[in-house]
Amino acid sequence: MPLRRLSRRLRCTRVAGCAAGPTHNAPVTTLLATLIEASARAAATRSRIAKRDAIAGLLREAEPAEVGIAVAWLAGETRQGRIGVGYATLAALRAAHAAEPTLTLVEVDAAFERYASTAGKGSAAERSSLLRGLFERATASEQDFLVRLLVGELRQGALEGVMLDAIAAASGVPLADVRRAAMVTGSVAEAGRVAIAEGAAGLARFAVALHRPIQPMLAQPADGVADALERLGTAAVEWKVDGARVQAHKTGSEVRVYTRNLNDVSESVPEIVEALQALPADELILDGEAVALAAGGAPQPFQVTMRRFGRKLDVARMRAELPLAVFFFDCLHAGDVSLIDRPARERFDALAAAVPPPLVVPRLVTADVGAAEDFYADALARGHEGVMVKALDGRYGAGSRGAGWLKVKRAHTLDLVVLAAEWGNGRRRGWLSNLHLGARDPAGGWVMLGKTFKGMTDALIEWQTHELLARESGRSGHVVHVRPELVVEIAFNDLQESPQYPGGLALRFARVKGYRPDKRADEADTIDTVRALHAAQLARGS
Ligand SMILES: Nc1ncnc2c1ncn2[C@@H]1O[C@H](COP(=O)(O)OP(=O)(O)OP(=O)(O)O)[C@@H](O)[C@H]1O
């Protein structure tokens, strides 16, 4: 019997059971097996429409209470965040399995919830019996799915676009409304739940709101200033400051500052809070970059700036040692007006009206390549990473890598994910050293691009050994495979064609610039970006 029909049948049985007894008071019965089947159908096709339809079919079938669970799992995440159960523990649970699928989404989610909230003395036994109970009731393919979900192997931010389409299709709500809700709540699962349960009227409550951070807009790479201006015409050219993204919300003297991942770091950055409190504007949402400056005013390296973030103790001492400067470059809300749908030039005007020049990033509006090149050279000479070139008529594409923001940097760098690491030799014996690096495949999974053990200090090697071992998912010979979670910034000279690597491309002279604790793996650079860089390299004849 097809699983979908089985799921309907179970639902009826449960509803009947519901009337008979007090134990089931909600008919929430989509089977885990149904979700696995839909997920497999979505993965098996390259057609975006077929992917959307596979997911939309499941969401239509699901009860409102199940939609948030289904969306989260299809994106490879649990609703409880990282549950922290190791691969070895899970592998040991796979001895016995059920013959028939009976597990429902709600039951499994409830088990995760209990697991995540069981802590403290004696919790280990309780946790392991919870998992054992769950695994004994799962079929072999369900066990396989659960393991991959729990160790993070299914995580695929790339599905987000398809998921939004599927939610729109399943709920009949316009795609733009679903996207807006996902961006404002920072959660596609939450947008899906509300769209399906309450429709467009429910989503209307997700207007941009003060003190509720929204996903920041991100940039695409350009192959130089000339390339960027050719693509955008007259554009704003700004310093690309290599610090930490900050989104500041102000209502009167109440100021909160959020990171790129929407964490509230207000306590760690009092100088930014004070600078905004001093402004006369009553309501503001600003987007910018904070950076620690050295005595002469040159920017400190990214890793140094990061020492100020997430720090709750000793803030006063750190502030004296490593004062932060902030450069705002966008204004998303001013007075009672939301500006995210307004063209960039209007947002720049609102920024200039609300914030004094020292707090605004230096910017040149031009179509002239020579003038833009001079501005770029000056930014580099001052120690900045490069420039951002921005379309003047672009909207603020929250949460997306918009074509209206192009970044131009001197060195080629990519943010890649560590897939595995090899035990070192000689001085590095006993430490994990040579990293296997992968780019994100938008269709799911990772494409290995090379290895490197260069550019790392002893302290970094020690740190990464601990972090990687904590993410171990298996071993082969001297290679430790890890869950693809850590993002590392890699500098390299160029890309070469290589039949040895799965994407046909390999990095030349790759070296580690530093880890990117502020980025999740689903924000790492994609293989498409790497291919575009390679194509640009070929076009330059290098
Ligand atoms: N003037 C600016 N306008 C926009 N973003 C800026 C600016 N200066 C610095 N930035 C930073 O650059 C980032 C945009 O580049 P991108 O979207 O590629 O993120 P990223 O991957 O962190 O960039 P990178 O790794 O190249 O620093 C922003 O998130 C922001 O932190």
Q: Is the CB of 330 under 6 A from ligand 1?
A: no
Say how far apart CA 16 and CA 14 lie, in whole Å. 5
- Supply φ then ψ for residue 44, to 5 degrees: -80, -15
Tell me the pLDDT of the chain averaged across its residues.
Answer: 88
- CA 285 to ligand 1 center in whole angstroms: 18
Residues annotated as catalytic are 240
Q: Is the pLDDT of residue 340 over 90?
A: no
Domains within the chain, CATH numbers bracketed: 3-203 (1.10.3260.10), 218-409 (3.30.470.30), 412-540 (2.40.50.140)
Beta strands in 398-516, from DSSP E residues, in sequence order: 401-409, 412-423, 432-440, 446-452, 472-476, 479-482, 487-492, 494-497, 505-508, 511-515
Q: How many CA atoms lie within 13 A of 254 on its CB side?
A: 5
Question: How many residues appear in the chain?
Answer: 542
- CA 63 to ligand 1 center in whole angstroms: 40
Kindly report the protein residue whose alpha carbon is nearest to atom 25 of ligand 1. Answer: 415
Distances (CA, A) of 356 to 69, 297, 351, 353: 46, 18, 9, 8
Q: Is the CB of 351 under 6 A from ligand 1?
A: no
- CA 439 to ligand 1 center in whole angstroms: 18
pLDDT for position 120: 60
User: 354 by DSSP, 3-state: which?
Assistant: helix
The atom number, within ligand 1, closest to the CA of 302 reads 27
- CA 388 to ligand 1 center in whole angstroms: 8
With tokens 């003395």, the residue in question is 121
Residue of 217, 240, 306, 387 best suited for mutating to test ligand 1, as the one with most atoms within 8 Å of CB:
240
The atom number, within ligand 1, closest to the CA of 518 reads 22
The atom number, within ligand 1, closest to the CA of 489 reads 25
Count of other CB atoms within 10 angstroms of residue 317: 10
- CA 528 to ligand 1 center in whole angstroms: 19
Say how far apart CA 124 and CA 420 lie, in whole Å. 28
At 232-285, the pLDDT tens digits run: 999 999 999 999 999 999 999 999 999 998 899 999 999 999 999 999 999 999
- CA 160 to ligand 1 center in whole angstroms: 21
pLDDT for position 41: 92
pLDDT for position 440: 95
Q: Is the CB of 491 under 6 A from ligand 1?
A: no
Say how far apart CA 510 and CA 85 lie, in whole Å. 33
Say how far apart CA 4 and CA 129 lie, in whole Å. 30
Q: Is the CB of 361 under 6 A from ligand 1?
A: yes
Q: Is the CB of 15 under 6 A from ligand 1?
A: no
Q: Is the CB of 388 under 6 A from ligand 1?
A: yes
Q: Is the pLDDT of residue 178 over 80?
A: yes
| Non-local CB neighbours of 27 within 8 Å, separated by 6+ positions | 11, 14, 15, 18, 63
Higher-pLDDT residue of 119 and 344 is 344
Return the top range by mean pLDDT from 37-51, 104-118, 171-185, 362-376: 362-376
According to DSSP, the β-strands at 218-221 and 401-409 are parallel
Q: Is the pLDDT of residue 117 over 90?
A: no
Q: Is the pLDDT of residue 4 over 50?
A: no
What confidence tier does 202 reach under pLDDT thresholds 50, 70, 90? confident
Token representation of residue 197: 């349960």
pLDDT for position 10: 38
Say how far apart CA 469 and CA 205 lie, in whole Å. 43
Token representation of residue 452: 């490197």
At 11-47, the pLDDT tens digits run: 333 333 333 333 334 444 899 999 999 999 998 998 9
pLDDT for position 473: 95
pLDDT for position 453: 94
According to DSSP, the β-strands at 505-508 and 446-452 are unpaired
Residue of 289, 412, 512 best suited for mutating to test ligand 1, as the one with most atoms within 8 Å of CB:
289
Say how far apart CA 188 and CA 160 lie, in whole Å. 7
Residue of 388, 405, 512, 529 best suited for mutating to test ligand 1, as the one with most atoms within 8 Å of CB:
388
Q: Is the CB of 61 under 6 A from ligand 1?
A: no
